[in-house]
Protein backbone atom coordinates (compact mmCIF):
# COMPACT_ATOMS: atom_id res chain seq x y z
CA UNK A 1 0.00 0.00 0.00
CA UNK A 2 1.06 3.54 -0.62
CA UNK A 3 -0.46 6.98 -0.34
CA UNK A 4 -0.26 9.41 -3.24
CA UNK A 5 -2.11 12.53 -4.46
CA UNK A 6 -5.25 11.78 -6.44
CA UNK A 7 -5.01 12.08 -10.24
CA UNK A 8 -7.53 12.63 -13.03
CA UNK A 9 -7.37 8.94 -13.93
CA UNK A 10 -8.77 8.01 -10.49
CA UNK A 11 -12.25 9.40 -11.17
CA UNK A 12 -14.14 6.14 -11.79
CA UNK A 13 -12.45 4.42 -8.87
CA UNK A 14 -13.23 7.36 -6.59
CA UNK A 15 -16.92 7.30 -7.50
CA UNK A 16 -17.06 3.59 -6.67
CA UNK A 17 -15.37 4.20 -3.35
CA UNK A 18 -17.69 7.08 -2.43
CA UNK A 19 -20.74 4.89 -3.02
CA UNK A 20 -19.58 2.82 -0.06
CA UNK A 21 -19.05 5.74 2.32
CA UNK A 22 -22.65 6.41 3.37
CA UNK A 23 -24.39 9.17 5.26
CA UNK A 24 -22.26 11.26 7.54
CA UNK A 25 -19.10 11.50 5.45
CA UNK A 26 -20.13 14.89 4.21
CA UNK A 27 -17.05 15.59 2.14
CA UNK A 28 -17.27 12.40 0.06
CA UNK A 29 -20.68 12.24 -1.61
CA UNK A 30 -21.15 9.85 -4.55
CA UNK A 31 -21.81 12.51 -7.17
CA UNK A 32 -19.75 12.05 -10.33
CA UNK A 33 -19.62 15.69 -11.30
CA UNK A 34 -18.70 16.88 -7.83
CA UNK A 35 -16.05 14.21 -7.38
CA UNK A 36 -14.61 15.20 -10.73
CA UNK A 37 -14.47 18.79 -9.53
CA UNK A 38 -12.92 17.61 -6.31
CA UNK A 39 -10.11 15.90 -8.21
CA UNK A 40 -9.55 19.03 -10.27
CA UNK A 41 -9.30 21.15 -7.13
CA UNK A 42 -6.78 18.73 -5.63
CA UNK A 43 -4.63 18.60 -8.75
CA UNK A 44 -4.67 22.40 -8.96
CA UNK A 45 -3.79 22.61 -5.27
CA UNK A 46 -0.72 20.41 -5.64
CA UNK A 47 0.23 22.54 -8.63
CA UNK A 48 -0.06 25.69 -6.45
CA UNK A 49 -2.68 27.19 -8.74
CA UNK A 50 -5.16 27.94 -5.96
CA UNK A 51 -5.34 30.33 -3.03
CA UNK A 52 -5.51 28.92 0.46
CA UNK A 53 -9.22 29.65 0.52
CA UNK A 54 -9.79 27.11 -2.23
CA UNK A 55 -6.88 24.70 -1.88
CA UNK A 56 -7.83 21.18 -0.87
CA UNK A 57 -5.38 18.30 -1.05
CA UNK A 58 -6.85 14.88 -1.66
CA UNK A 59 -4.81 11.71 -1.24
CA UNK A 60 -5.65 8.15 -2.14
CA UNK A 61 -4.46 4.87 -0.67
CA UNK A 62 -3.44 2.58 -3.50
CA UNK A 63 -2.89 -1.16 -3.43
CA UNK A 64 0.52 -1.32 -5.12
CA UNK A 65 -0.06 -4.92 -6.18
CA UNK A 66 -3.51 -4.62 -7.78
CA UNK A 67 -3.45 -0.87 -8.48
CA UNK A 68 -6.91 -0.51 -6.78
CA UNK A 69 -7.93 2.53 -4.75
CA UNK A 70 -9.00 1.52 -1.26
CA UNK A 71 -9.23 4.79 0.62
CA UNK A 72 -9.06 8.57 0.62
CA UNK A 73 -7.89 11.30 2.95
CA UNK A 74 -7.68 15.03 2.48
CA UNK A 75 -6.62 18.34 3.93
CA UNK A 76 -8.42 21.63 3.25
CA UNK A 77 -5.82 24.39 3.45
CA UNK A 78 -8.12 26.84 5.22
CA UNK A 79 -11.83 26.59 5.96
CA UNK A 80 -14.33 29.41 5.94
CA UNK A 81 -12.41 31.90 3.81
CA UNK A 82 -14.75 31.99 0.85
CA UNK A 83 -17.98 31.05 2.62
CA UNK A 84 -18.79 30.93 6.32
CA UNK A 85 -17.74 27.96 8.40
CA UNK A 86 -20.11 27.25 11.26
CA UNK A 87 -19.73 25.48 14.56
CA UNK A 88 -21.59 25.59 17.79
CA UNK A 89 -19.45 26.53 20.75
CA UNK A 90 -20.71 24.64 23.76
CA UNK A 91 -20.63 27.39 26.35
CA UNK A 92 -21.93 28.08 29.82
CA UNK A 93 -24.35 30.72 30.96
CA UNK A 94 -24.63 31.29 34.71
CA UNK A 95 -27.90 32.51 36.17
CA UNK A 96 -27.54 33.56 39.78
CA UNK A 97 -29.56 35.48 42.32
CA UNK A 98 -28.10 35.93 45.79
CA UNK A 99 -31.38 37.34 47.00
CA UNK A 100 -33.30 34.11 46.57
CA UNK A 101 -30.27 31.81 46.80
CA UNK A 102 -30.34 30.45 43.25
CA UNK A 103 -27.27 29.53 41.21
CA UNK A 104 -27.70 27.80 37.85
CA UNK A 105 -25.25 26.84 35.15
CA UNK A 106 -26.91 26.41 31.79
CA UNK A 107 -25.17 24.83 28.85
CA UNK A 108 -25.67 27.12 25.88
CA UNK A 109 -24.88 26.65 22.19
CA UNK A 110 -23.46 29.70 20.46
CA UNK A 111 -23.33 29.75 16.67
CA UNK A 112 -19.79 30.80 15.75
CA UNK A 113 -17.30 31.05 12.92
CA UNK A 114 -14.43 30.61 15.39
CA UNK A 115 -12.63 27.91 13.42
CA UNK A 116 -12.41 30.10 10.31
CA UNK A 117 -8.99 29.93 8.72
CA UNK A 118 -7.93 26.60 10.23
CA UNK A 119 -6.72 23.73 8.07
CA UNK A 120 -9.09 20.80 8.13
CA UNK A 121 -8.46 17.10 7.96
CA UNK A 122 -11.27 15.74 5.82
CA UNK A 123 -12.53 13.07 3.47
CA UNK A 124 -11.10 10.17 5.45
CA UNK A 125 -12.57 6.94 4.11
CA UNK A 126 -11.10 3.45 4.03
CA UNK A 127 -12.89 0.60 2.31
CA UNK A 128 -14.11 -1.82 5.00
CA UNK A 129 -12.18 -4.76 3.49
CA UNK A 130 -8.93 -2.94 4.04
CA UNK A 131 -9.42 -1.76 7.59
CA UNK A 132 -6.46 -3.75 8.95
CA UNK A 133 -2.71 -3.92 9.18
CA UNK A 134 -1.93 -0.26 9.73
CA UNK A 135 -3.80 0.91 6.60
CA UNK A 136 -5.95 3.29 8.62
CA UNK A 137 -2.90 4.82 10.28
CA UNK A 138 -1.08 5.17 6.98
CA UNK A 139 -4.06 6.79 5.25
CA UNK A 140 -4.74 9.27 8.04
CA UNK A 141 -1.28 10.07 9.40
CA UNK A 142 0.51 10.32 6.04
CA UNK A 143 -1.16 13.74 5.88
CA UNK A 144 0.93 14.85 8.84
CA UNK A 145 4.13 14.18 6.88
CA UNK A 146 2.76 16.41 4.12
CA UNK A 147 1.97 19.07 6.75
CA UNK A 148 5.46 18.70 8.21
CA UNK A 149 7.04 19.04 4.80
CA UNK A 150 5.02 21.99 3.51
CA UNK A 151 3.85 24.01 6.52
CA UNK A 152 3.49 27.20 4.48
CA UNK A 153 0.59 25.66 2.57
CA UNK A 154 -1.44 25.34 5.76
CA UNK A 155 -2.66 27.20 8.80
CA UNK A 156 -1.15 27.12 12.27
CA UNK A 157 -4.23 25.37 13.57
CA UNK A 158 -5.45 22.03 12.26
CA UNK A 159 -8.93 20.74 12.96
CA UNK A 160 -10.94 17.62 12.26
CA UNK A 161 -14.71 17.37 12.47
CA UNK A 162 -15.75 13.97 13.67
CA UNK A 163 -18.98 12.30 12.73
CA UNK A 164 -21.61 12.63 15.43
CA UNK A 165 -24.11 10.10 16.70
CA UNK A 166 -26.80 8.81 14.35
CA UNK A 167 -28.66 5.52 14.13
CA UNK A 168 -28.74 2.89 11.35
CA UNK A 169 -31.46 4.83 9.54
CA UNK A 170 -29.31 7.97 9.56
CA UNK A 171 -31.41 9.71 12.21
CA UNK A 172 -29.53 12.08 14.46
CA UNK A 173 -31.10 12.81 17.86
CA UNK A 174 -29.44 16.22 17.92
CA UNK A 175 -30.81 17.11 14.52
CA UNK A 176 -34.28 15.90 15.43
CA UNK A 177 -34.30 18.10 18.52
CA UNK A 178 -32.79 21.24 16.98
CA UNK A 179 -32.05 21.53 13.28
CA UNK A 180 -35.25 19.85 12.10
CA UNK A 181 -37.34 22.68 13.61
CA UNK A 182 -35.56 25.20 11.41
CA UNK A 183 -34.82 23.21 8.27
CA UNK A 184 -37.92 21.00 8.11
CA UNK A 185 -35.95 18.29 6.38
CA UNK A 186 -34.25 15.06 7.39
CA UNK A 187 -30.71 14.99 8.70
CA UNK A 188 -29.52 12.95 5.73
CA UNK A 189 -30.80 15.57 3.29
CA UNK A 190 -29.31 18.47 5.23
CA UNK A 191 -26.07 16.55 5.53
CA UNK A 192 -26.07 15.94 1.80
CA UNK A 193 -26.72 19.60 0.98
CA UNK A 194 -23.94 20.64 3.30
CA UNK A 195 -21.57 18.06 1.82
CA UNK A 196 -22.11 19.16 -1.74
CA UNK A 197 -20.98 22.62 -0.81
CA UNK A 198 -24.37 24.23 -0.43
CA UNK A 199 -23.50 26.12 2.72
CA UNK A 200 -25.37 29.40 2.34
CA UNK A 201 -28.61 27.77 3.41
CA UNK A 202 -27.11 27.17 6.85
CA UNK A 203 -26.88 30.87 7.57
CA UNK A 204 -30.32 31.43 6.17
CA UNK A 205 -32.03 28.75 8.19
CA UNK A 206 -30.14 28.11 11.42
CA UNK A 207 -31.19 29.82 14.64
CA UNK A 208 -29.08 32.95 14.99
CA UNK A 209 -29.61 33.29 18.71
CA UNK A 210 -27.87 31.10 21.28
CA UNK A 211 -29.71 27.92 22.16
CA UNK A 212 -30.12 26.66 25.71
CA UNK A 213 -29.52 22.92 25.68
CA UNK A 214 -32.10 22.61 28.47
CA UNK A 215 -34.65 22.99 25.67
CA UNK A 216 -33.25 20.01 23.75
CA UNK A 217 -34.35 16.43 24.27
CA UNK A 218 -32.30 14.38 26.69
CA UNK A 219 -31.18 12.18 23.80
CA UNK A 220 -29.91 15.28 21.99
CA UNK A 221 -28.09 16.63 25.04
CA UNK A 222 -26.33 13.31 25.54
CA UNK A 223 -24.75 13.29 22.08
CA UNK A 224 -23.25 16.79 22.18
CA UNK A 225 -19.53 16.36 21.55
CA UNK A 226 -19.90 12.58 21.14
CA UNK A 227 -18.78 10.62 18.09
CA UNK A 228 -20.51 7.88 16.12
CA UNK A 229 -19.43 4.39 17.20
CA UNK A 230 -17.62 3.89 13.91
CA UNK A 231 -15.63 7.09 14.49
CA UNK A 232 -14.31 6.20 17.93
CA UNK A 233 -11.02 4.76 16.60
CA UNK A 234 -10.46 7.91 14.52
CA UNK A 235 -11.02 10.08 17.58
CA UNK A 236 -8.63 7.99 19.67
CA UNK A 237 -6.00 8.18 16.93
CA UNK A 238 -6.27 11.97 16.64
CA UNK A 239 -6.11 12.38 20.41
CA UNK A 240 -2.98 10.25 20.54
CA UNK A 241 -1.48 12.66 17.98
CA UNK A 242 -2.20 15.63 20.23
CA UNK A 243 -5.63 16.74 19.04
CA UNK A 244 -8.19 17.73 21.65
CA UNK A 245 -11.83 18.72 21.90
CA UNK A 246 -12.14 22.42 22.79
CA UNK A 247 -15.91 22.74 22.93
CA UNK A 248 -16.74 23.15 19.25
CA UNK A 249 -19.31 20.84 17.70
CA UNK A 250 -20.97 20.34 14.35
CA UNK A 251 -24.19 22.32 13.95
CA UNK A 252 -26.06 19.37 12.44
CA UNK A 253 -25.17 16.31 14.48
CA UNK A 254 -23.14 17.85 17.36
CA UNK A 255 -20.14 15.67 16.57
CA UNK A 256 -16.97 17.17 18.09
CA UNK A 257 -14.37 19.23 16.26
CA UNK A 258 -10.91 18.35 17.55
CA UNK A 259 -8.00 20.68 17.07
CA UNK A 260 -4.23 21.02 17.46
CA UNK A 261 -1.52 23.48 16.50
CA UNK A 262 0.10 22.01 13.37
CA UNK A 263 3.58 22.08 14.89
CA UNK A 264 2.39 20.24 17.99
CA UNK A 265 0.98 17.24 16.16
CA UNK A 266 3.08 14.30 17.28
CA UNK A 267 3.75 13.00 13.74
CA UNK A 268 4.78 16.47 12.60
CA UNK A 269 6.89 17.33 15.63
CA UNK A 270 8.68 13.96 15.86
CA UNK A 271 9.24 13.44 12.14
CA UNK A 272 12.86 13.43 10.94
CA UNK A 273 14.62 13.78 7.63
CA UNK A 274 16.81 10.78 6.73
CA UNK A 275 18.79 9.38 3.83
CA UNK A 276 17.19 6.34 2.22
CA UNK A 277 19.25 3.17 2.10
CA UNK A 278 18.52 -0.22 0.57
CA UNK A 279 18.22 -3.43 2.58
CA UNK A 280 16.71 -6.86 1.99
CA UNK A 281 14.78 -7.14 5.19
CA UNK A 282 15.03 -4.13 7.52
CA UNK A 283 14.28 -4.66 11.20
CA UNK A 284 12.43 -2.38 13.54
CA UNK A 285 9.07 -0.87 14.30
CA UNK A 286 6.58 0.55 11.79
CA UNK A 287 7.43 3.94 10.33
CA UNK A 288 5.66 6.27 7.97
CA UNK A 289 8.10 7.19 5.22
CA UNK A 290 7.54 9.97 2.67
CA UNK A 291 9.59 10.95 -0.36
CA UNK A 292 9.27 14.69 0.51
CA UNK A 293 8.28 15.68 -3.04
CA UNK A 294 5.68 18.37 -3.48
CA UNK A 295 4.03 16.92 -6.60
CA UNK A 296 4.78 13.18 -6.68
CA UNK A 297 4.30 12.92 -2.92
CA UNK A 298 4.34 9.27 -1.78
CA UNK A 299 4.10 7.68 1.66
CA UNK A 300 4.52 4.05 2.64
CA UNK A 301 4.48 2.14 5.87
CA UNK A 302 7.74 0.30 6.48
CA UNK A 303 9.53 -1.56 9.26
CA UNK A 304 12.77 0.12 10.10
CA UNK A 305 14.80 2.33 12.38
CA UNK A 306 16.74 5.55 12.07
CA UNK A 307 20.33 4.32 11.82
CA UNK A 308 23.78 5.89 12.15
CA UNK A 309 24.19 9.11 10.23
CA UNK A 310 20.47 9.46 9.80
CA UNK A 311 20.10 6.59 7.39
CA UNK A 312 16.82 4.73 6.99
CA UNK A 313 16.88 1.32 5.29
CA UNK A 314 14.03 0.37 2.93
CA UNK A 315 13.29 -2.69 0.77
CA UNK A 316 13.47 -2.44 -2.98
CA UNK A 317 9.67 -2.66 -3.17
CA UNK A 318 9.31 0.32 -0.82
CA UNK A 319 11.91 2.33 -2.72
CA UNK A 320 9.94 1.61 -5.90
CA UNK A 321 6.65 2.56 -4.27
CA UNK A 322 8.21 5.85 -3.15
CA UNK A 323 9.74 6.26 -6.63
CA UNK A 324 13.17 6.97 -5.14
CA UNK A 325 16.60 5.38 -5.01
CA UNK A 326 19.01 4.72 -2.17
CA UNK A 327 20.66 7.98 -1.19
CA UNK A 328 17.54 10.10 -1.72
CA UNK A 329 16.11 12.07 1.15
CA UNK A 330 13.05 10.78 3.05
CA UNK A 331 11.01 12.03 6.01
CA UNK A 332 10.15 9.39 8.58
CA UNK A 333 8.18 9.15 11.79
CA UNK A 334 7.12 6.17 13.93
CA UNK A 335 3.55 5.17 13.10
CA UNK A 336 2.60 5.12 16.76
CA UNK A 337 3.50 7.49 19.52
CA UNK A 338 5.96 5.89 21.92
CA UNK A 339 5.20 6.21 25.55
What Å distances lie between residue 283 and 198, 279, 305, CA to CA?
A: 50, 10, 7
- By CB under 8 A, name the one of 9, 33, 92, 99 that touches other proteins: 99
CB 259 within 8 A of CB 118: yes
Catalytic site residue 228?
A: yes
Nearest alpha carbon to residue 228 among 265, 175, 157, 159: 175
First to last CA, the chain: 27
Q: Which segment (164-172, 198-206, 265-273, 291-299) binds other proteins by CB under 8 A?
A: 198-206
**203 or 337: whose CB is closer to other proteins?**
203
- By CB under 8 A, name the one of 129, 168, 209, 280 that touches other proteins: 209
Instruction: Please give the Cα distance from 125 to 236 (Å, whole number).
Output: 16
Instruction: Please give the Cα distance from 244 to 53 (Å, whole number).
Output: 24
218 is a contact residue toward other proteins (CB under 8 A): no
Instruction: Please give the Cα distance from 195 to 213 (Å, whole number).
Output: 26
90 is a contact residue toward other proteins (CB under 8 A): no
Q: Which segment (37-45, 195-203, 250-258, 305-313) binds other proteins by CB under 8 A?
A: 195-203
Q: Which segment (37-45, 77-85, 124-132, 180-188) binds other proteins by CB under 8 A?
A: 180-188
CB 140 within 8 A of CB 234: yes
**65 or 100: whose CB is closer to other proteins?**
100
- Across 24-52, b (16+ Cβ under 10 Å) vs e yields bbbbbbeeeebbeebbebbbebbeeebeb
Nearest alpha carbon to residue 77 among 30, 126, 129, 41: 41
- Of 228, 295, 303, 318, which one is the catalytic site residue? 228
Q: How many residues line the site for other proteins (CB under 8 A)?
A: 33
219 is a contact residue toward other proteins (CB under 8 A): no
108 is a contact residue toward other proteins (CB under 8 A): yes
Instruction: Please give the Cα distance from 292 to 330 (Å, whole number).
Output: 6
- By CB under 8 A, name the one of 46, 59, 183, 297 that touches other proteins: 183
- By CB under 8 A, name the one of 20, 210, 247, 284 that touches other proteins: 210
Q: Contact positions toward other proteins, by CB under 8 A?
A: 93, 95-97, 99-100, 102-104, 106, 108, 177-178, 181-185, 193, 198, 200-201, 204-205, 207-212, 214-216
Catalytic residues, which ones? 228
Amino acid sequence: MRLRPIAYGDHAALVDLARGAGIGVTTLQPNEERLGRRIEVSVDSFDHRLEKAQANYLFVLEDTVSGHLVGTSGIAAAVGLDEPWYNYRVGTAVYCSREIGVYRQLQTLFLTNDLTGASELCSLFLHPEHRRGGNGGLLSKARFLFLAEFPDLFAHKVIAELRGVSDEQGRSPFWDSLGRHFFRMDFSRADYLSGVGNKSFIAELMPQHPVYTAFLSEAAREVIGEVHTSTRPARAMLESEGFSYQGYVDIFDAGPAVEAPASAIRAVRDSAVCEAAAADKPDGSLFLVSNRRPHEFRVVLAHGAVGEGGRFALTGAHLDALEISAGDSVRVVPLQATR
